[in-house]
Amino acid sequence: MGKTVFAVPDSYVTTSVDVTPWADAKWAAILAHRSEVARERPLPGILARLAETDRNRIIRTEHFTRLTPGPAEGDRVQLTA
């Protein structure tokens, strides 16, 4: 689409979360940024022009990458015997 996407390779993703229960709220929040949705190049504008099925496939999963291995400082760690 002629847009630079700042991303990491899929192999770097350590956690994917299904956020389907919040997809409608997430989409409403995106639409609240009307000036961004109206523009062609920002991500909200690109999402608004996609078919609903394609858009839903994108916004219903969140991907995260842990930058450091192991528990982060302050993480609660539960040890089991």
* Residues 27, 4: Cα–Cα separation, whole Å: 22
Instruction: Say whether pLDDT at 47 is over 90.
Output: no
| Total Cβ atoms within 10 A of residue 43 | 14
Amino acid at 69: P
Looking at residue 5, what is its pLDDT? 64
- What is the separation of C-alpha 29 from the centre of its chain, rounded to a whole number of angstroms? 13
Mean pLDDT of the chain: 80
> Token pair of 22, please?
């919040």
C-alpha Rg value of the chain to the nearest Å:
17
Looking at residue 67, what is its pLDDT? 77
**Among 39, 43, 54, which residue's Cα sits nearest to residue 4?**
43
pTM score: 0.62
Looking at residue 65, what is its pLDDT? 85
The residue that leads in pLDDT, 11 or 77, is 11
The residue that leads in pLDDT, 43 or 24, is 24
